Amino acid sequence: MQIALGTEDLTKVRFLISPLWETVASIEALQKRTPIHRPWIEMAKERIAASPDSRAYEHLRILSALVMPDGYIADSLTPTQPRQDSFAESLDAIRAIPTELWERDLRHLADLTVGSPTRRTIDELLNDIDAAVSRILAALEWYWATAVEPFWPRLRSVLLADVDSRLEQLARDGIQEVFKTLHPRVRPNSTGLEIMRGVTCCHYANNVPEPGMGLILVPNAFVWPDTMVLNVQPFVPTITYAPRGVGRLWETVRETSESPVSALLGRTRAQILAQLDVPMTTTQLACALDLAAATVSGHLRVLSGSGLAESLRSGREVFYQRGELGDALLSRA
């Protein structure tokens, strides 16, 4: 697949953290049983099984039909977001999708599912598009609250850290270097970006967006090890990619109480440093370690001042992540 990028497009490249994209990608990961996300898959399955919603199975049936594992995903599930939206605002964007676009996506899914059990679900949705959109929105809202929202703070912190790192790279090396490190199958060329095999995307080769719309880059933990691409009108071209640090996303905290690091830093600071496998706020750390926020804040100032931890800001929030020196210290423990 080729995404054409002119000079104007390169001035409109932006990063976006999207709970909606993460939710849609997680539906695929759940179906594929992606190994790196096995801890989350087990927790999500337990939460889904315990859901009190009588329509839980129906919700899953609909979402599984719209998000094909290793295949097409209905483009209308991930409309272009003009800003960093909440999940509720993202649902409003889906609600605003014209009926003809939903029909286009569903008919394409019908063509792809001939002879499969999924085809019956697609036919049901096609029979009444307006009712189908309401069912889809209800299914997404239930799935987000059940399987993704409880883990969103941890997911979001990893995504924020990746965007912070990419923006530093952009300022230092330029957009072409950012493109080169997004994903092994994403390659910049003289006309834009070429996306190789192993990509989930639309299938409307003759309906690509007009030049000048820009490009949206969305870090997405659940898309690992592949990438998703949205490159169809009327949406802005969008590429998702796995953020740096996704391999540590579901790791449990390392035991440090008897380690040399604990003897050097003290037990509490060693615990805090070990907890920062993913970026966290002072409040998140305090909750995770059952400590007072003021206590955590004081230790973070010492760890940051010594270069063992680093801070990054997102709006009014400040996240802390382990620095290279902190990683090196723990690796020797």
Q: What is the mean pLDDT of the chain?
A: 87
pLDDT tens for each residue of 227-275: 899 988 889 999 999 998 787 788 765 555 567 777 788 888 888 888 7
CATH for 252-331?
Answer: 1.10.10.10
Each residue's pLDDT tens digit, 115-137: 888 999 999 999 999 999 999 99
Identify the segments of the chain with pLDDT beneath 50: none
pTM: 0.79
HSE value, Cβ hemisphere, 13 Å, CA-based, for 321: 19
Cα 311 from Cα 318, distance rounded (Å): 7
- Write out the residue limits of the CATH 1.10.10.10 domain(s) in the chain: 252-331
